[in-house]
Amino acid sequence: MGSILIVDDEAGIRSMLEVVLRRDGHAVCTAGSGTEAITRLEADHGIELVLSDLRMEGLDGLGLLRALKDRHQGVFTIIMTAYAEWDTAVSAMHLGAYDVLRKPFDNSAVRALAARALAARDRWLAAKAAGEHTAPVHLVGSSPAILAVQALIERIGSTDSTVLVTGESGTGKELVARALHYSGLRADGAMMRINSGALSPGLLESELFGHVKGAFTGAVEDRPGLFELAHKGTLFLDEVGDLAPETQVKLLRLLENGEFIPVGGREVRRCDVRVVAATNRDLQAMVKAGTFREDLYYRLAVIPVHLPPLRDRREDIPLLAGHLLARHAVKLRRGITGFAPDALQAMQSWPWQGNIRELDNRIQRGVALTPDGLIPRDNLFGDVAPALPAMDGGHGSENPALAQHLAGGGAIDLEGEMLRHERALVEAALNRTGDNLTEAAKLLGISFRQIRYKVRQLGLR
């Protein structure tokens, strides 16, 4: 049991929460404003958890949170907020709030979240006393966008909220989930992963929530789902935009109060899991279209993390390529020392529609085809050579006219040039394959889904 301070300018809310939490054996005190809460915290150093409303006169929830982080780092904070204040609630998570409690809430959600926060605080204090610091998983890159993502991961490591990672396929969303898990309070727990788009709705529910014996043909015994297996840990829910409507309802219930019912079962079970969801789809557009629940979206996107495509962070390509090369050279036992200049130039100019995953595949190919020394351009891109523009002899540009224009003091539209270059490559691949998307995708080293999207984006169909 813990010592909890409730901060809200509505007396009715304070009284209700005090009654609910006292029933679980917690010691509860209250404050009607942020300023009164600071006074109580200064007088009572035994307070472990603060439940604070976001909107209050004078010192609001964010101001109180900042004061706690400056003077009372051992006190964990839960921010209470309404839908309309969700953007501000996200700021609270960035400041280090343990979690956000959405209004209106039910008693079971309050009790479960308070218990989780107090348990997380105990783990945090124990690790701090033992001098333990979990080594964070670092994202490779030095671009401003990636440094910002890394800094955000480090800031929210001590929180327990759901995180929504967005970005194109292959940008490294699972790596972000692993970084959040291993740098957070659940590093000692299990991390489970599932791709929501790879399974039928019925099978997905069985994998997530488990099933009881006899629930369907072939269910010869009770089987726990991933939420049970990830208890006290993290579940990475990839392609969350592909969830069926009925699964969305069940996931929302679990996120709100930690409760679920196995497929074919009647008994309500509970689990304590942090969910990191990911998608390459526009969930906000899906909410407007009515294909994704608005309440689930807000519950998932407590902390949004966006990963930029590789073509928007080209300065990271040499670092990423070197990192991947070192890994694959050791694995394949190759005495490779680096990339030839034409290979580096080609990597910098390639559109990378498959992002880091495509770069990884290219480097695996190059390592496999190169016994030692430097990997040449053809060992990386030989299979798509017709679609690759000619190099200029290693002088840093594949369009000498543009380079001369810049050298002469002129200016260019870089984004426009890149789009024109990309369109020319896709058109060349389509012309060579007789407009066959599957074969054109192979030539470009991307997936069928990616070329279908690109063809629409570029207006080629």
Write out pLDDT tens, residues 111-129.
888 988 898 788 778 777 7
Residue 371: Cβ within 10 Å count: 10
* Residue 395: per-residue pLDDT: 42
Mean per-residue pLDDT of the chain: 85
Residue 222: Cβ within 10 Å count: 14
Q: Is 46 exposed, middle or buried (0-12, 13-18, 19+ CB in 10 A)?
A: exposed
Tell me the pLDDT band of 394, cut-offs 50, 70 and 90. very low
- pLDDT of 215 > 90? The answer is no
pLDDT-wise least confident of 121-125, 220-224, 315-319, 368-372: 121-125
* Residue 410: per-residue pLDDT: 64
Pick from 158-167, 168-177, 425-434 the range whose average pLDDT is largest.
168-177
Task: Say what the alpha-carbon torsion angle 433, 439, 441, 442 is, to the nearest 10 degrees.
Answer: -120
The residue-averaged pLDDT of 400-419 equals 63
Do 279 and 207 lie in a common domain?
yes
Per cent of the chain over pLDDT 90 is: 41
Do 86 and 156 lie in a common domain?
no
Tell me the pLDDT band of 318, cut-offs 50, 70 and 90. confident
In one-letter notation, the amino acid at residue 385 is A
Note the pLDDT tens digit of each residue in 3-23.
Answer: 999 999 999 999 999 999 999
pLDDT-wise least confident of 29-38, 106-115, 226-235: 106-115
- pLDDT of 346 > 60? The answer is yes
Sign of the alpha-carbon torsion through 256, 262, 263, 264 = negative
Do 298 and 319 lie in a common domain?
no
- pLDDT of 145 > 80? The answer is yes
Range of the domain at 336: 311-457
Higher-pLDDT residue of 235, 109: 235
* Residue 192: per-residue pLDDT: 95
Tell me the pLDDT band of 393, cut-offs 50, 70 and 90. very low
DSSP state of 307: P
Alpha carbon 60 to its chain centroid, in Å, reads 29
Do 153 and 61 lie in a common domain?
no
User: Which SS3 state, helix, strand or coil, does residue 373 take?
Assistant: strand
How many domains does the chain divide into? Answer: 3
CATH assignment at residue 46: 3.40.50.2300
CA distance 148 to 407: 33
Residues in a beta bridge with 51: 6, 78
Higher-pLDDT residue of 453, 257: 257
The residue-averaged pLDDT of 232-243 equals 94
Sheet containing 234-238: order of strands: 191-195, 234-238, 274-279, 163-166, 303-306
Do 266 and 282 lie in a common domain?
yes
Task: Say what the alpha-carbon torsion angle 167, 273, 87, 148 is, to the nearest 10 degrees.
Answer: -50
CA angle at residue 186 from 181 to 188, to 5 degrees? 100
- pLDDT of 66 > 80? The answer is yes
Tell me the pLDDT band of 397, cut-offs 50, 70 and 90. very low
The residue-averaged pLDDT of 319-324 equals 87
Higher-pLDDT residue of 221, 408: 221
Domain closes at, from 308, 342, 365: 308
Do 191 and 293 lie in a common domain?
yes
Q: Retrieve residue 246's tokens.
A: 């009925």
**C-alpha closest to that of 120 among 79, 154, 74, 163:** 74
Domain closes at, from 75, 100, 129: 129
* Residue 11: per-residue pLDDT: 93
Residue 252 forms part of a structural domain: yes
Domain closes at, from 253, 282, 308: 308
Residue 139 forms part of a structural domain: no
* Residue 385: per-residue pLDDT: 67
Do 122 and 248 lie in a common domain?
no
CA distance 459 to 437: 14
Residue 137 forms part of a structural domain: no
Do 219 and 102 lie in a common domain?
no
Tell me the pLDDT band of 453, cut-offs 50, 70 and 90. confident
CATH assignment at residue 240: 3.40.50.300
Residue 138 forms part of a structural domain: no
Do 87 and 152 lie in a common domain?
no
- pLDDT of 49 > 80? The answer is yes
Do 28 and 171 lie in a common domain?
no
State how beta strands 259-260 and 269-270 pair.
Answer: antiparallel
Residue 193 forms part of a structural domain: yes
Q: Name the phi and psi angles at 79, rounded to 5.
A: -100, 130
* Residue 440: per-residue pLDDT: 83
CA distance 429 to 420: 14
Higher-pLDDT residue of 86, 91: 91
Residue 78 forms part of a structural domain: yes
- pLDDT of 399 > 70? The answer is no
> Is residue 104 reached through a cis peptide bond, with omega within 30 degrees of 0 on the bond before it?
yes
Residue 136 forms part of a structural domain: no
pLDDT-wise least confident of 170-179, 315-324, 400-409: 400-409
* Residue 52: per-residue pLDDT: 94
pLDDT-wise least confident of 56-65, 82-91, 208-217: 82-91
Residues in a beta bridge with 56: none
Residue 210 forms part of a structural domain: yes
CATH assignment at residue 367: 1.10.8.60
Tell me the pLDDT band of 135, cut-offs 50, 70 and 90. very low
* Residue 434: per-residue pLDDT: 76
Please count the CA atoms within 13 angstroms of the CA of 143 that sit on its side-chain side: 20
Alpha carbon 303 to its chain centroid, in Å, reads 9
Residues in a beta bridge with 306: 166
Do 291 and 377 lie in a common domain?
no
With contact defined as beta carbons under 8 Å apart, do 226 and 236 qualify? no
Q: Retrieve residue 367's tokens.
A: 């390592």
Per 3-state DSSP, the chain is made up of helix, strand and coil in percentages (nearest 5) of 50, 15, 35
* Residue 407: per-residue pLDDT: 62
User: Which SS3 state, helix, strand or coil, does residue 229 take?
Assistant: helix
Over the range 377-388, which residues count as b (16 or more CB within 10 Å of their CB) and which as e? bbbbbeebeebb
* Residue 280: per-residue pLDDT: 93
Note the pLDDT tens digit of each residue in 180-191.
Answer: 988 777 888 899
Do 334 and 437 lie in a common domain?
yes
